[in-house]
Amino acid sequence: MTPTNGTFSEFLKSFEETLRLVFHEKEDINQLSLERGLPSSVMSEIMSKVPLSVAIPKQHGGRGSLVEECLGILAAASYESLSLSLTFGINIALFLEPISKYANEAVKNDIFDRFLKKQNMGGLMITEPDYGSDALNMKTSFRETGNGYKVQGTKHWQGLTGWADYWLIASRKELDSGELGRDIDFFICDTSQEKQKIVVEELYDNAGLYMIPYGLNTVDIEVPANYKLEPETTGIKMMLDILHRSRMQFPGMGMGFIKRMLDEAIVHCKNRIVGTGNLLSMDQVQFQLSRIQSAYTICSAMCARSSKISGIDHNLAGEGLEANSMKAVVTDLMQESAHILVQLSGANGYKISHVGGRGIMDSRPFQIFEGSNEMLYSQIAEMVTRLMRKQKQLNLLEFLKDFKPTSEASQYFTNEFSFSISNTISQRKLVDLGKILGRIVSLGYVLELQEKGFRKDLVDNCIDTVKLEVATLIGSFHFDNNVQVIEDYTENSSWLKFV
């Protein structure tokens, strides 16, 4: 079977079978995960199934860039290894989809061909040592040469550092004045070309995701003119479209990971006898497991929603509310699920060779990269409060009832949300509010999934779990707190002086 013929369920089944074979029979993923990287024979066997064909258009020999297929592959991979899933996530959302949508037609065939036939990989370079969250102020620059562009700068923390065959590199135009333009442009870099080598200055000792190399890169390359991505309007809007689509694919990586945490936790709690019964018979354990199960339900609903709205034919530049909600909420749920599994597993969970133990460190940076969650939550709150002010509707419940992304779910919070939003909200309260809104938007997806026939008992449990979490967050939002750090706190604060 070539990657493009056959149904997706056949394709997925064969991919899952390969993962089972390489990670559980030929090799042991728990042992492989102790080392950095992945033996090339293992990677090569996985890539022989051409999993990335899901993100390549049909006319270029791929399976057609359908979101549900991309998420299906990400989920299958993350059930076994979050690192492997992120490796695919980087290739799909940060390279192949942007190429499909924005690259010059003349360069696409060769790139896609190398992904389909030569197991090539690609990543995205945005972050610089001095500009992470503040990416718009990046210093990597480009200027036109006779027949193309010269791109120069320093980037760091790129997933697949030293490994990717291709990069997309973000940079700003060097103006005649010597200053840098405000827009951001992206250039393809083919590291197999003489003038397009990226120099890896240092490899980082990333604390998790051992399979993926990260590091510090010097960019000093010359590329042909048609290696510049072609935005529909501005480069910044193109970047937002790319990043929002990527954020909407996080649920694919979350899906398999959360399901694995749930499956492992249930099996463990069934079998582990403490005192007179198994862990499953304890009320607190039931509470913890129900939280992972609620995460499973939310993540499933996000995948369904993302499949509907995040294809490359949609422009997502203006869809920050949904993209930020999906990314921030699902990554919080991934981290929480790993923590619960480790806690329930007791001491044995605290090992890198334990899927929960490494799950904590593997899922942790998902809350940091592609927009730190605090930043995304405050953006969510800003988007909503801006609309409220524009509509002169300051009562949260009244607004959310009429706002499409929250209208269905807000009916579960009639008492809690009946308050007015003030004109000035501190940043810490914006983050609380964004967390609340992100969860209401996510619950809306769950209700949408229920309408399509998803299990009602899972949905009912999920509603109760989200209600509890939102109640806690509302408590935090209303609590008057403006505590500031005391920087010279060591003066007169050593406990030894007071004994």
> Which positions from 198 through 237 interact with ligand FAD, judged by CB under 6 A?
206, 209
Q: Is the dihedral of CA 266, 285, 358, 82 positive or negative?
A: positive
State the virtual CA torsion across 386, 392, 395, 400 in degrees, nearest 10. -60
- Which among 24-32, 66-74, 192-200, 373-381 is the span making contact with ligand FAD, rule CB under 6 A? 373-381
Distance CA(92)–CA(82), nearest Å, equals: 15
Residue pair 280/269 in contact (Cβ under 8 Å)? The answer is yes
Residue pair 298/328 in contact (Cβ under 8 Å)? The answer is no
For residue 375, state whether it binds ligand FAD (rule: CB under 6 A). Answer: yes
**Closer residue to ligand FAD in complex, CB, 190/264:** 190
**Closer residue to ligand FAD in complex, CB, 85/297:** 85
Q: Is the dihedral of CA 164, 198, 369, 341 positive or negative?
A: positive
Residues 6+ apart with CB under 8 A from 310: 67, 244, 245, 248, 249, 316
In DSSP terms, 273 is beta-bridged to 278
Q: How far is the CB of 235 from ligand FAD (least distance, A)?
A: 16
State the virtual CA torsion across 18, 24, 25, 31 in degrees, nearest 10. 120
For residue 359, state whether it binds ligand FAD (rule: CB under 6 A). Answer: no
**Closer residue to ligand FAD in complex, CB, 121/441:** 121
Among 133, 192, 226, 391, binds ligand FAD (CB under 6 A): 133
Question: What is the contact mask toward ligand FAD in residues 379 to 398, using x (rule: CB under 6 A)?
Answer: --------------------
Tokens of 354: 């334990």
Number of residues interacting with ligand FAD: please give it, by CB under 6 A: 21
CB-closest chain residue to ligand FAD:
132
Residue pair 371/243 in contact (Cβ under 8 Å)? The answer is yes
**Closer residue to ligand FAD in complex, CB, 22/125:** 125
Strand (E) or helix (H) holding 303: helix 283-309
Compute the half-sphere exposure of residue 215: CA atoms within 13 Å on the CB side of its CA.
16
**Closer residue to ligand FAD in complex, CB, 46/90:** 90
Q: Are strands 122-125 and 166-173 parallel, antiparallel or unpaired?
A: parallel
Strand (E) or helix (H) holding 400: helix 396-402
Among 124, 292, 321, 360, binds ligand FAD (CB under 6 A): 124
Among 66, 368, 383, 394, binds ligand FAD (CB under 6 A): 368
- Which among 18-26, 189-197, 344-352, 374-382 is the span making contact with ligand FAD, rule CB under 6 A? 374-382
Q: Is the dihedral of CA 281, 284, 289, 293 positive or negative?
A: positive
Question: What is the contact mask toward ligand FAD in residues 156 to 175, using x (rule: CB under 6 A)?
Answer: -xxx----------------
Give the E-state strand segments of 284-360 in sequence order.
Answer: none
- Which among 23-31, 99-107, 223-231, 361-369 is the span making contact with ligand FAD, rule CB under 6 A? 361-369
For residue 125, state whether it binds ligand FAD (rule: CB under 6 A). Answer: yes
Among 132, 281, 315, 428, binds ligand FAD (CB under 6 A): 132
- Of 354, 337, 277, 325, nearest to 442 by C-alpha is 325
For residue 187, state whether it binds ligand FAD (rule: CB under 6 A). Answer: no
For residue 454, state whether it binds ligand FAD (rule: CB under 6 A). Answer: no
**Closer residue to ligand FAD in complex, CB, 373/393:** 373
Binding site for ligand FAD (CB under 6 A): 90, 123-127, 132-133, 157-159, 206, 209, 365, 368-370, 372, 374-375, 378
